[in-house]
Amino acid sequence: MAVTSKAAQDFVPIKEIRDGVVILKDGTMRMLLMASSVNLALKSGDEQTAVLMQFQSFLNSLEFSTQIFIQSRRLDIRPYLRRLEDRHKAEMNDLLKVQIREYINFIRTVTQMTNIMNKLFIIVVPFSPTKSVTATTESKNGGILNNLLGKKKNEKPVVSQGALEAFEEARSQLEQRVGIVSQGLSRTGVRVVSLGTEEITELYYHLFNPGEDEKRVAVNE
């Protein structure tokens, strides 16, 4: 029996990303929030209890589902090393130049021996609109999917006026949910910020192209 191969785009549930909103192929919408972390180990017992109680209260107050996603990325140390190299070149004191060079070599050695990870905390807030908000015609070159999969072409699809109005109405209700999440988490000491279209695209690009991180973080470049 012949096996029908599927294109990579068939496995991506995203239809488009518009104005900071992810629209899935099933017509539902998502907004993504990046959240800060709280180090409970640095807090007293009473403070830890207070944070956990506030978080429990926040979860119990929600009338809609949310998803908390943690993404680990290898920390790109190259910008920091470049600043150190610039500082080394500008330094006039010979002793300090030697110390800076030794420090640069130390950082390179540590990052080569150990994977230093940076964690992103993402909260996904969903909404199911009652009317279609998706494009009426598809982009010939795959639109946002090509961008997520590492291809260069990214033509915007054509959207009808009715779909635009439905999108704005649904986004307004989605933003209300985002406000509820933001206010609830602020009581626990967690700060959140909504991701824009470019930031969401970059996030999904890293998810669908995990090998790119390893290429970009070579500290010897």
Are 54 and 149 within one domain?
Answer: yes
Are 67 and 160 within one domain?
Answer: yes
Q: How buried is 74 (Cβ within 10 angstroms: 0-12 exposed, 13-18 middle, 19+ buried)?
A: middle
Query: Does 2 reside within a domain?
Result: no
What pLDDT score was predicted for residue 122?
94
Are 179 and 138 within one domain?
Answer: yes
Whether the CA torsion 195, 37, 120, 16 is positive or negative: it is negative
Are 139 and 208 within one domain?
Answer: yes
Domain range for residue 176? Answer: 8-73+119-216
Query: Does 1 reside within a domain?
Result: no
Per the structure, the count of domains in the chain is 2
What pLDDT score was predicted for residue 58?
93
CA-to-CA distance for 66 and 124, rounded, in angstroms?
6
What pLDDT score was predicted for residue 54?
94
Are 192 and 102 within one domain?
Answer: no
Query: Does 3 reside within a domain?
Result: no
The b-or-e profile of 134-162 (16+ CB within 10 A means b, else e) is bbeeebeebbbbbbbbeeeeeeebebeee
Are 141 and 168 within one domain?
Answer: yes
* pLDDT under 50: residue ranges of the chain: 1, 137, 139-140, 152, 215-221
Are 126 and 186 within one domain?
Answer: yes
Are 126 and 192 within one domain?
Answer: yes
Are 167 and 210 within one domain?
Answer: yes
Do 22 and 29 touch, CB atoms closer than 8 A?
yes
What pLDDT score was predicted for residue 129?
86
